[in-house]
Amino acid sequence: MNRNDRTWFKSSYSDGEGGGECVEVALTPRTVHVRDSKRKHGPRLSIPPAAWAGFLVYAAGG
């Protein structure tokens, strides 16, 4: 899968009313890809799923 074939999605907290500026993620079997929604063709971060899961726990306050 090349980087143009990925399905990107935003957080459910992005509502377009000031919340439209956020990160987007694309999931693949071995990697979670993260990009800035304002710079779709800019740099991307690729991290292992376990690290992403840990980040989500942290971000949720857990």
| DSSP state at residue 32 | E
For the chain, what is the radius of gyration of the CA atoms? 12
pTM for the full predicted model: 0.74
Of 44 and 17, the structure prediction assigns the larger pLDDT to: 44
pLDDT confidence tier of residue 60, bands split at 50, 70 and 90: confident
Q: Is the sign of the CA dihedral 11, 17, 22, 27 positive or negative?
A: positive
Point out which residues pair with 44 in neighbouring strands: 35
Mean pLDDT score, 5-21: 71
pLDDT confidence tier of residue 10, bands split at 50, 70 and 90: confident
Residues whose CB falls within 8 Å of the CB of residue 4, separated by 6 or more in sequence, listed in order: none
pLDDT > 70? residue 3: no
pLDDT > 90? residue 40: no
* CA angle, residues 31, 57, 60, in degrees to nearest 5: 120
